[in-house]
Structure 1
């Protein structure tokens, strides 16, 4: 998380005018449903576009375990994404081994620390594709 709850609140209140551009990169809000609680959780995440999709990385700074938001979307891939003032339903899926190298390069070019995070952990850090649902 970047600023956590404060980041989410400022982003929502300003339709991303505050919070979308962060540390020379771009941030979206991802809302997942808790896998045990059933509650909604919103996380600010660095993203890039790839065609019509939005790409995020489940790095958790190179921690040995995946972030909660990733575990949540594995249990329920139906999510909500907000990019600036645009909120839309999406389906989340983990990039396949064939898709991942290109998407990892895209994300590491955006946030070079991802390469460092991967060296800190034995788990393979997932790249997640957020595909807009409906119009």
Structure 2
């Protein structure tokens, strides 16, 4: 009876680990793709801004230009914030995957230990 319970525990842990992977793996892949796209766009925008800043240095006193530059800085800060949030989420998913693997290994280890011990 106890052996079947261990077997059910292992199956449960495997199903939980599989479920966690099914839940987090697709969004993680999507996040990774989006992160690459955002980084590429950020680099493009950064190059464009540098070029435009050089062109507009003689117009620094123009109030409308100052407002636009402030908006650009705000947007860049938001992009950096999104990037760091995505990296943090990626880290959390990796931690969860590691924990799921460790739980599965522990359950298998317990099951094999209980099978190796003589019944009383």
What TM-score range do you get, normalising by the shorter chain? under 0.3
Between structures 1 and 2, the one with greater strand share: 1
Q: TM-score, normalised by structure 2?
A: 0.22
Q: TM-score, normalised by structure 1?
A: 0.21
* Bigger Rg over Cα: 2
